[in-house]
Structure 1
């Protein structure tokens, strides 16, 4: 006799919450899907009850996974990959390149799809890096079979200059010279190097070395809770991977199936949530107005200088304020909300000037930075004949880390990887891509691939407990800098660069694998740095720092003391911890479900469910 069927709604309480949840097919549910679904229950009376009426009989049901599709139109196309990377800035292309590469030890690459509707857009920022840090990054990429050629650097200065005069008896025209080479990255060359050959003009622009694929579309999701997104069905996770809906500029939708999703869309990510369980101040902001200018040097006696700036040196800081009249409102604003000039002399009479607010909350305006830049240049006798480019730089610094247990891996700005005291990011993101790519590649190669474990290990590679401790130390540094007037900043940095180079360079690096970072990776190294640093500061700044340490520790909790003592242990990290649902009863049900789905003899999935019914 052919069984009849009926569709009834079964509550999670009737079947057991875990059973009801895992019953939905993977492609149709999210990790915490709250959509109402109606499983199809197939009913067949027991033989003894078929010919008997008026008695109690047992009805036995089988639960078939029948879930209505998400309330959205069907995608125009679909794709599948090992890793989906969202975004196409330096962090995105760096990690995509390493994930897709065939390494020097013979390890093959994985299928990586980069999604960004603006993939062809040029990178805007002028990136500056310390030469030794860049060389360490090159070594990592060479180990993945992805060399970063000499063309990625278009200018090298053998020395770096700073001006901190005007406070603590430092003459206004005093120049501090640092014997550490600095480089300007050729952003176009680096972008091409980290692009697939098919995406660059090989004849005119050089050969792309990366092996990932590209789709010009963006995700359409917004996280409403950890692993929950709107609109429903736009991004969902299951036990084998994730399904992401993308949309191109023309409105065409593409559904992508990936084992791992990496979000590199930046600080304002819509799908990587921040951790609200750990006390954290909101980020500070680095704001800068930059101008690539051609100078009129017709009346300049020595063209080896642009004003006071030697063209053989890169000027990292000019914190002087003598370009404003005494007692003026402009001077008051410059002293209470300080900015500095950052100078990159390029070829001939071309120079990049950038007036920068290092870190502030609230942010200094772009207009204020522009006005100060032009006033400074005029005061220094620097005449601009042509402006080739303008740059508007906005960098959130500090703030909370990503929330734990997220399936989407935030990388770069979306994972708060910017140095919280300095704003440095490029070398940190490119160096970190190596360790993150290794753990993701390792997980993808595992015969028992687990996407939750892969995401947790990736986050742990970014923010290990040790690295979080080092970041917490630097976060305090950013908070201290934000409260300083220009006098305090001059004294701070004058003392900072009087430290041994290994100490100050390690603080500026602030990332595992970069040169001199070992001088800051442990609590004892950070404590030694702090004690040595205070001894180099002007007494007024040293006292302010001492009082700030006490006040910050009282108001913000254990983060700072934990970073300089072993007594409070390490911060909580992102290490993978198997969930209870992966063990015992629920794990067994999941295994049974998988095996039944693969079976050719059954089309329905039995569930213990008996109901006494009067017939």
Structure 2
């Protein structure tokens, strides 16, 4: 029998390849299992540049803007769109020492993974399959989702500056609150996305598509050519995995932003170190955030808000100093700074009732949304 692998990584997405690369760099014998490991990634990954300092950027904006009724907030914090192809290429090179098993997992047990291409032996198996969590969970399915519909378009001209990303345009919100997210590429080319940051249950895509079309028409943006389309559905409150997991499968999605890439890239090394010491509990402990409860509270607040309440909440949120908003939105937040940020927000009387509502009146799993 062949010598068992040290680790079987299930899934060849960003989290899986980042972990495989970290393990290979430490001399581990690794197998990456995926039914299509060479499939190109088409997701749009964005983050503040300081959260992804070593990741290739396709586009960089020097600042971000938040549009609120009657005013705008500008933060001079560079924001990047990741060069997805370059990132995939880099992670493939870093994980080139791993064996590739082209197959789908059909079962697993102690020390082994069964695929439709055969069975492999491994001391540890790590689920890196994202929201699918194919190796099992210890709780009910996700109930809160971020959904979005976006298009990259060529136009005769648009109203946005190519040097500024519009992180949220919170004007003219509908009863189920969605906002406009804008990434200008040139003076005529732009990516626009209609986004529901968090909702229980998920807001479906068709209404978002219609809202985006209506918004572009109202802004006088005439589409010459559609370059690409993107549909987004991110579960924000995934259950805990039943075994070893990493990335979104381990619940590493920020429940108030939907971001997970920066945290996965940053924690691949510490997770690998603990795993190769044969301390799986320690490996999972590296992923636990002391701020998770506060972020889940933020998620519950967002899922309760109608359009006016969401505008009031983010108006108060972005009235806070930059360090406070950055602390809450960070992929690796410190507990003290997140507590301080939430305390400052709680002191804002006009949104205090929104923060108290999830505590005083817990929502049923399928809370009602206003009609679309």
TM-score, with structure 2 as normaliser: 0.91
- Per-residue CA deviations over 1:531-574 (Å, capped at 9, x if unaligned) read 21123x4x44223323443334x999xxxxxxxxxxxxxxxxxx
Contact 2:327 2:338 in 1 (8 A): no
Q: Is structure 2 residue 55 aligned with structure 1 residue 158?
A: no
- 2-side partners of 1:395 and 1:461: how far apart? 23
Quick one: which of 109, 134, 143 aligns to 1:236?
A: 109
Contact 2:146 2:236 in 1 (8 A): yes
Q: CA deviation at 1:371?
A: 0.7
Contact 2:133 2:241 in 1 (8 A): no
| Matched residue, 2:90 | 193
| Matched residue, 2:368 | none
Change (3 A) 1:550 1:526: farther
Q: Is structure 2 residue 125 aligned with structure 1 residue 261?
A: yes
Q: CA deviation at 1:80?
A: 3.8
Contact 1:91 1:411 in 2 (8 A): yes
Change (3 A) 1:551 1:510: farther
Runs of 5+ consecutive residues of structure 2 not aligned to the other structure: 366-372
Contact 2:127 2:134 in 1 (8 A): no
Give the secondary structure class of the aligned counterpart of 1:335.
Answer: coil
Aligned residues: 365
Give the secondary structure class of the aligned counterpart of 1:413.
Answer: helix
- 2-side partners of 1:545 and 1:441: how far apart? 42
Q: Is structure 2 residue 344 aligned with structure 1 residue 532?
A: yes
Flag the structure with larger Rg.
1
| Matched residue, 2:99 | 213
Q: Is structure 2 residue 283 aligned with structure 1 residue 419?
A: no
Q: CA deviation at 1:294?
A: 1.1
- 2-side partners of 1:494 and 1:210: how far apart? 47
Change (3 A) 1:402 1:243: closer
The alignment's C-alpha RMSD in Å is: 2.3
Question: For 1:44-123, what aligned pairs fall within 5 Å after superposition?
Answer: 80-101=4-25, 108-123=26-41
Quick one: which of 362, 367, 370 aligns to 2:206?
A: 367
Quick one: which of 274, 278, 284 aligns to 1:439?
A: 274
- 1-side partners of 2:274 and 2:292: how far apart? 21
Quick one: which of 328, 348, 351 aligns to 1:541?
A: 351
| Matched residue, 1:284 | 144
- Per-residue CA deviations over 1:32-79 (Å, capped at 9, x if unaligned) read xxxxxxxxxxxxxxxxxxxxxxxxxxxxxxxxxxxxxxxxxxxxx978
- 2-side partners of 1:209 and 1:547: how far apart? 46
Change (3 A) 1:369 1:529: same
Give the secondary structure class of the aligned counterpart of 2:361.
Answer: helix
Q: Is structure 2 residue 78 aligned with structure 1 residue 181?
A: yes
Contact 1:397 1:418 in 2 (8 A): yes
TM-score, with structure 1 as normaliser: 0.56
Q: Is structure 2 residue 315 aligned with structure 1 residue 494?
A: yes
Contact 2:64 2:74 in 1 (8 A): yes
| Matched residue, 1:131 | 49
- Per-residue CA deviations over 1:196-252 (Å, capped at 9, x if unaligned) read 3xxxxxxxxxxx67432222112112xxxxxxxxxxxxx221xxxx111112xxxxx
Runs of 5+ consecutive residues of structure 1 not aligned to the other structure: 1-76, 102-107, 139-147, 166-170, 197-207, 222-234, 248-252, 298-305, 322-333, 444-453, 512-516, 557-615
Quick one: which of 252, 256, 281 aligns to 1:456?
A: 281
- Per-residue CA deviations over 1:296-355 (Å, capped at 9, x if unaligned) read 23xxxxxxxx22x2221011001211xxxxxxxxxxxx5321111111112452211111
Give the secondary structure class of the aligned counterpart of 2:130.
Answer: coil
